[in-house]
């Protein structure tokens, strides 16, 4: 199996959001963007590999060394090998990936943000490296080296917001899964404001409605729903700010990034419609809907 095939299977299989958002993107930038998302999957797995933070930290430290080896053509892992060309030619900045690993280390120790400000700060640290790296790859592929996120005063903050919003959507989508692993990323003050103790959230996520799947606990109906909708509104505003910050001249090059943001916002709307569903399962969009959103984004709508 080639490194590109491995990355595609991990991050962009047929029917996935990334698969549809990358439609129409040519070979090399497509491969690099998919490899970046595959790296995100690997880092997430490493951060959740064990209840022992030292085990997770060791795996993440290994990734730091593997990215260093990739710059010298000595990487062993297929994701690092797929990233090697971009690292060697400056399309991907290794320091940005190192910052991503550092954010993953915070996940590994069981981050519990005290408030929304802390959650947003972590979301930027965890989500911005992917969005910045993707934007850099796409802009350089279009010959827009003068418009890289580090050199443009508006593009950097815009991509950071999109990356943070994407991370927050995934966090909200996976609330139940994370809770069953003993991890809660919801802000403590926000949970307290709706009267939802951590123990109650963990119990609700662990409960099963095998007899009647339409039956929901009072926790889900009255407390978690309100909290999730407040978060969804804040995340959607962050998405909107990020999209507004992408100037018209860069939108063509950044179409895959805009398509992914559109898919994430649609998913967020589904979560806001039925927040309790994320406690026991995983909400997803249909392939035809993701295809439609991607098509609209490619035409600037």
pLDDT tens profile 167-187: 999 999 999 998 888 889 999
Residue 147 DSSP class: G
Tell how far CA 2 is from the center of its chain: 25
- Judge whether 271 and 246 are in contact, CB under 8 Å: no
Q: State the average pLDDT over residues 46-66.
A: 91
Sequence-ordered alpha helix ranges (H) in the chain: 3-11, 17-21, 27-47, 53-70, 78-88, 94-108, 116-141, 155-173, 175-180, 188-193, 198-206, 218, 225-244, 248-251, 255-273, 277-280, 287-298
Checking if the pLDDT of 245 tops 70, the result is yes
CA-nearest of 131, 113, 254, 271 to 183 is 113
Residue percentage of the chain with pLDDT more than 70: 91
Instruction: Give the Å distances, CA to CA, from 178 to 111, 162, 201, 250.
Output: 11, 22, 11, 36
- The residues spanned by each domain of the chain are 1-110, 111-301
pLDDT tens profile 199-239: 888 888 887 544 344 555 545 557 899 999 999 999 999 99
Q: What is the pLDDT of residue 218?
A: 47
Q: What is the pTM of this model?
A: 0.92
Residue 223 DSSP class: I
Flag the least confident range among 112-121, 149-158, 289-298: 149-158
Q: State the average pLDDT over residues 121-143.
A: 94
Q: Of 94 and 202, which is predicted with more confidence?
A: 94
CATH number for the domain running over 111-301? 1.10.600.10
Q: What is the pLDDT of residue 24?
A: 86
pLDDT tens profile 246-282: 988 888 899 999 999 999 999 999 999 999 899 888 7
Flag the least confident range among 14-18, 106-110, 143-147: 143-147
Phi–psi pair at 204, nearest 5 degrees? -65, -40
């Amino acid at each position: 199996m080639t490194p590109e095939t491995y990355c595609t299977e991990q991050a962009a299989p047929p029917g996935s959001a990334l698969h549809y958002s990358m439609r129409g993107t040519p070979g090399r930038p497509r491969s690099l963007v998919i490899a970046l998302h595959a790296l995100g999957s690997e880092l997430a797995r490493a951060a959740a590999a064990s209840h022992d933070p030292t085990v997770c930290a060791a795996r993440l430290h290994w990734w730091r060394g593997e990215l260093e080896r990739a710059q010298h053509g000595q990487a062993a892992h297929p994701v690092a090998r797929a990233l090697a060309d971009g690292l060697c030619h400056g399309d991907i900045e290794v320091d940005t990936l190192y910052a991503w690993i550092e954010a993953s280390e915070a996940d590994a120790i069981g981050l519990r943000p005290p408030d929304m400000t802390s959650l947003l700060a972590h979301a930027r640290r965890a989500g911005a490296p992917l969005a910045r790296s993707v934007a850099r790859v796409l802009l350089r592929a279009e010959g827009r080296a003068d418009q890289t996120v580090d050199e443009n005063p508006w593009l950097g903050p815009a991509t950071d917001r999109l990356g943070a919003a994407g991370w927050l959507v995934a966090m909200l989508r996976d609330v139940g899964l994370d809770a069953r692993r003993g991890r809660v990323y919801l802000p403590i003050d926000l949970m307290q404001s709706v009267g939802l103790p951590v123990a109650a959230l963990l119990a609700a996520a662990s409960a099963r409605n095998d007899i009647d799947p339409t039956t929901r606990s009072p926790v889900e109906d009255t407390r978690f729903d309100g909290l999730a909708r407040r978060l969804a509104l804040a995340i959607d505003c962050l998405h909107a700010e990020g999209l507004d910050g992408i100037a018209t001249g860069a939108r063509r090059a950044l179409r895959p990034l805009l398509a992914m943001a559109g898919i994430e916002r649609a998913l967020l709307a589904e979560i806001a419609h039925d927040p309790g569903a994320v406690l026991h399962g995983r909400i997803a969009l249909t392939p035809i809907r993701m295809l439609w959103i991607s098509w609209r984004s490619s035409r600037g709508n």
